[in-house]
Amino acid sequence: MGKQKKFVEEITPMDEDFAKWYTDIVKKAELTDYSSVKGCMIIRPYGYAIWENIQKVLDQKFKETGHENVYMPMFIPESLLQKEKDHVKGFAPEVAWVTHGGDEELTEKLCVRPTSETLFCEHYAKIIQSYNDLPKKYNQWCSVVRWEKTTRPFLRTTEFLWQEGHTAHATEEEAQKETIDILNIYADFCENVLAMPVVKGQKTEKEKFAGANATYTIESLMHDGKALQSGTSHNFGDNFAKAFNIQYTDKNGELKYVHQTSWGMTTRLIGAIIMVHGDDSGLKLPPKIAPTQVMIVPIALHKEGVTEKALELKDRISKVARVGIDISDKMPGWKFNEYEMKGIPVRLEIGPKDIEKNQVVLVRRDTGKKTFVSIDEIETKVVELLDDIQSSMLNSAREHRDENTYTAATLDEFINIAQNKPGFIKAMWCGDTACEEKLKEVAGVSSRCIPFKQEQISDKCICCGRDAKHMVYWGKAY
């Protein structure tokens, strides 16, 4: 009893200190380590394996929808970065610069890419001539650097991994369709693979990407009631095309500017998985993204036949799921806690008593529920259980999100909710940035998005009382 208490103390309870809980999980589950450069993290094998699974699923989706992977340089000459005015202005404060090669000062300093719009644009200007060259749908997996003031593992790091898609289209309509198609891919991915419900919508003028006409976002709600922007998709119109002179000849022989999009998802998603699903025992991974879906813990390993049986099970299950086995001489209880902390969806126990009865014990991480299953039907039972865990994790995340989404019809009500109930607040807005800024000031929340699914809560702006244009999701954000 006393011993068990001690283990629990290694992870700070989330209700006591959510931020501490988060960093405890990241460390204890061996997802990352700190490095000697501020804000840069080492992604350890277990953390990287999660990222690889994210990549695998998304990459396949991008390819299915006609995107090609490329690789752009890590450095951007200062002059190139400056070609699009809004874009530079947005990124300038967080750019890292290379000024020397060896001992020699460079004639032009190079920026370490914070994002690669300018590089793609420069390239597109060269390779696009005719409508036959369109659309161009490129994607790259890389890391980018943004000199952040405050950093936290996965949520905000100086260098982070991501994918950035960059496309060029003949028409505005096509570009808009691409922007929304990608947003839908992101949303489906979050819901179906990460078991994380999202709100799809558009960013306000104030919150949109530097240089874009429109930014679309998926917003998710963390366990502590703070919002996390989990993926964005931008429609650039012809802003960049004009700045970089990306033109093509259409069917009528007329010279036209292309219409562009860009979109990205990052390692921040791992932070989202932690904060949406985790509990006081540790990480809780949705089966579809878990590096190991089933962990076999044999009981009384030294007893006749246990190891053999466990290995045999591993072999069988490996045909239907990602399975691991722990045959170290640690105590079973130690292993139970360890793999719960690591969020492995299913634990399989097999001991002498089970072998006698031709059964195993399956324990699900999300609910802790144990079931006894005949060894004869192990493959189907494991697959069923993983499916069930996947969908019930989405359901409980959705319940949590809905329970923590409020509506406000008056400013008093709005402020009251903002200050006392962490979560999303739905409220009407006139569309004026001044009101958005005022709400930040008086209530401490920012606009998360103008959701596609609009509701009419009232007909006046919550802030100024003028006619409302949109219903907006508001909240505190990471």
Closest CB to RNA among 216 and 406? 216
Binders of RNA among 26-85, rule CB under 7 A?
Answer: 34, 38-39
In the complex, what is the shortest distance from the CB of residue 348 to RNA, in angstroms, rounded to a whole number? Answer: 9
Burial class (CB in 10 A: 0-12, 13-18, 19+), 307: middle
Closest CB to RNA among 128 and 190? 190
Nearest to 383 by CA among 368, 397, 366, 362: 362
In DSSP notation, 50-96 reads: HHHHHHHHHHHHHHHTT-EE----SEEEHHHHTTSHHHHHHHGGG-E
Under the binding rule (CB under 7 A), the answer on residue 373 touching RNA is no
Cα 112 from Cα 33, distance rounded (Å): 23
Nearest to 207 by CA among 179, 183, 229: 229
In the complex, what is the shortest distance from the CB of residue 271 to RNA, in angstroms, rounded to a whole number? Answer: 8
**Nearest 5°: phi and psi at 286?**
-65, 135
In the complex, what is the shortest distance from the CB of residue 19 to RNA, in angstroms, rounded to a whole number? Answer: 3
Closest CB to RNA among 6 and 251? 6
Residues 390, 287: contact at Cβ < 8 Å? yes
Site string for RNA, 414-443 (x = CB under 7 A): --------------------------x---
Closest CB to RNA among 314 and 476? 476
Q: Show Cβ contacts of residue 220 under 8 Å, excluding neighbours closer than 6 positions.
A: 190, 196, 197, 198, 199, 227, 228, 230, 272, 276, 401
Closest CB to RNA among 44 and 152? 152
Among 268, 277, 342, 381, binds RNA (CB under 7 A): 268
Cα 28 from Cα 12, distance rounded (Å): 11
In the complex, what is the shortest distance from the CB of residue 282 to RNA, in angstroms, rounded to a whole number? Answer: 9
Q: Do strands 68-69 and 75-77 pair parallel, antiparallel, or not at all (unpaired)?
A: unpaired
Using CB under 7 A, which of the segments 2-10, 174-182, 421-429, 455-463 binds RNA? 2-10
Among 44, 61, 83, 152, binds RNA (CB under 7 A): 152
Structure tokens at 214: 């429109």
Using CB under 7 A, which of the segments 65-73, 316-324, 332-340, 377-385 binds RNA? 332-340
Residues 230, 220: contact at Cβ < 8 Å? yes
Closest CB to RNA among 135 and 153? 153
Burial code of 271-298, b = ≥16 C-beta within 10 A, e = fewer? bbbbbbbbbebbbbbbbbbbbbbbbbbb
Among 16, 100, 104, 149, binds RNA (CB under 7 A): 149
Among 329, 453, 455, 459, binds RNA (CB under 7 A): 329
Among 138, 189, 209, 473, binds RNA (CB under 7 A): 209
Closest CB to RNA among 178 and 354? 354
Among 89, 129, 304, 334, binds RNA (CB under 7 A): 334
Nearest to 338 by CA among 98, 88, 46, 44: 46
| Count of residues near RNA by CB under 7 A | 66
Binders of RNA among 86-145, rule CB under 7 A?
Answer: 93-94
In the complex, what is the shortest distance from the CB of residue 450 to RNA, in angstroms, rounded to a whole number? Answer: 16
Cα 163 from Cα 68, distance rounded (Å): 12
Among 44, 83, 109, 156, binds RNA (CB under 7 A): 156
Under the binding rule (CB under 7 A), the answer on residue 305 touching RNA is no
In the complex, what is the shortest distance from the CB of residue 333 to RNA, in angstroms, rounded to a whole number? Answer: 2
Closest CB to RNA among 4 and 318? 4
Alpha helices in 212-321 (DSSP H): 239-244, 268-277, 306-317
Under the binding rule (CB under 7 A), the answer on residue 229 touching RNA is yes
Cα 270 from Cα 477, distance rounded (Å): 16
Alpha helices in 278-374 (DSSP H): 306-317, 332-341, 352-357
Using CB under 7 A, which of the segments 14-22, 172-180, 238-246, 380-388 binds RNA? 14-22
Binders of RNA among 181-200, rule CB under 7 A?
Answer: none
**In which region does residue 323 sit, left (phi positive, over 0), alpha (psi from -120 to 50) or beta (all else)?**
beta
Nearest to 99 by CA among 73, 77, 74, 72: 77
Among 133, 148, 379, 413, binds RNA (CB under 7 A): 148
Neighbours of 245 (CB within 10 A): 13
In the complex, what is the shortest distance from the CB of residue 34 to RNA, in angstroms, rounded to a whole number? Answer: 5
Cα 121 from Cα 245, distance rounded (Å): 9
How far apart, in Å, do the first and last CA atoms of the chain sit?
37
Closest CB to RNA among 66 and 93? 93
In the complex, what is the shortest distance from the CB of residue 279 to RNA, in angstroms, rounded to a whole number? Answer: 12
In the complex, what is the shortest distance from the CB of residue 79 to RNA, in angstroms, rounded to a whole number? Answer: 23
User: What is the binding site for RNA (CB under 7 A)?
Assistant: 3-4, 6-7, 10, 18-20, 22-23, 34, 38-39, 93-94, 146, 148-158, 160, 209, 229, 232, 264, 266-268, 281, 299-302, 329-338, 340-341, 349-354, 361, 363, 368, 440, 444, 476-478
